[in-house]
Amino acid sequence: MRRTRLAGALTAVLALALTATGCGGGDTPAAPAAARTAAAPDRVEPLPSPASPRLPVTVASADGRKVTVGSAERIVPLSGSLSEIVFTLGLGDRVVARDVTATFEQAADLPVVTRAHDVSAESVLSLRPTLVLAESTTGPAEAVAQIRDAGVPLVVVPAAGDLDDVGGRIDDVAAALGVPAAGTALRERTAERLDAVRRKVPARADRPRVAFLYVRGSAAVYLLGGAGSGASSLLEAAGAVDAGKESGLEKDFTPLTSEALAAAAPDTILVMTKGLESVGGVDGLVKIPGVAETPAGAARRIVSVDDGVLLNYGPRTDRVLASLVDQLYGEAK
């Protein structure tokens, strides 16, 4: 994001796409076998020895407030990434709700308190939370204010933009939960795993040019990621070039056109898994105007990562990076 975060920059687009495609329900056709997709990791891995919260604590919220947290008995994280962090810290049994992007298995049975990507204050408050965790892109602002005005401690965490944000987000959540030592342990574990993946990236003079496309077929949403899309950091860590950024696209996303694709000239295309499904897999993707004329489209070099983890920048980001590396290089590593 340096970007407008995906949840912020595309709020209206995502709401339309999720409504039109049923993105959260998995009711779109499966991608053809030709798509080189990674198996979506559907579980988080909690720390082996989760700590008990030591509360109360007063922490700085990203909205400029100081928030005192007196109880972590009933937690509502308002993004998939924040949910991952809470569960991985070992406090998942205290989480009483999730938003639509918390797609991992341990959270599956929790009630959803968002409509598309908009928070329902009434749904949140009905669950009697003792702590709400939000991101700086969480909205609408009226819903966030309503929760806060009801007297619920609400801590805002800066939205993630790249790999450098992972550790800070873990620390922020752990501090709000009163488990700073567990946060340190998780931050170090995550950093070690990311470093291990980076060491496996092959050294190549001909770095692959990868374009990140955000597509939702049934809603006719087709966008090309630029410097602010959030994908650049991952692509660069995987030894690739962000083709949209390299072609001069400074914004987060721009409408997908034949001209923009020609300028980006990707030899590989990255998409979210459900987005690929929504256009009918690789066969459908290459029918989008301009895609077949790129080196990536002509060779059908498409990689995909699960929607629920691609841009989360949380404890599972090492798996996202490993998936990209595996799909980009395969046997060439």
Contact by Cβ (8 Å): 7, 159: yes
Q: Tokens representing 287?
A: 């029918």
In angstroms, the CA 245 to CA 232 distance is 8
Q: Tokens representing 254?
A: 């721009």
**Which bin fits 128, alpha (ψ -120 to 50), beta or left (φ > 0)?**
left
Q: What counts of helices (H) and strands (E) characterise the chain?
A: 14, 14
In angstroms, the CA 254 to CA 109 distance is 36
For residue 6, the model assigns a pLDDT of 52
| C-alpha of 312 from chain center | 3
pTM for the model stands at: 0.85
3-state helix, strand, coil in the chain (%, to 5): 40, 15, 40
In angstroms, the CA 17 to CA 103 distance is 17
**Residue 235 host element (H or E):** helix 232-237
Paired with 212 in beta bridges are: 270
Q: Which pairing describes strands 302-305 and 268-272: parallel, antiparallel, or unpaired? A: parallel
Query: In the chain, which ranges are continuous DSSP H helix?
Result: 6-9, 11-21, 80-86, 121-126, 141-149, 166-177, 180-198, 232-237, 243-246, 258-264, 273-278, 281-285, 295-299, 317-329
Looking at residue 73, its amino acid is: E
Paired with 114 in beta bridges are: 119
Contact by Cβ (8 Å): 113, 78: yes
């020895």: which residue's tokens?
49
Nearest to 261 by CA among 302, 234, 301, 296: 296
The vertex-275 CA angle with 270 and 276, nearest 5°, equals 65
For residue 112, the model assigns a pLDDT of 96
For residue 5, the model assigns a pLDDT of 45
Contact by Cβ (8 Å): 111, 51: no
In angstroms, the CA 48 to CA 57 distance is 24
Cβ within 8 Å of residue 63, ≥6 positions away: 136, 156
In tens digits, what is the pLDDT along the chain, a chain of 333 residues?
Answer: 333 345 444 443 443 333 333 333 333 333 333 344 444 448 999 999 878 999 999 999 999 999 999 999 999 999 999 999 999 999 999 999 999 989 899 999 999 998 767 999 999 999 999 999 999 999 999 999 999 999 999 999 999 889 999 999 999 999 999 999 999 999 999 999 999 999 999 988 899 999 999 999 988 999 999 999 999 999 999 999 999 999 999 989 999 999 999 999 999 999 999 999 999 999 999 999 999 999 999 999 999 999 889 999 999 999 999 999 999 998 544
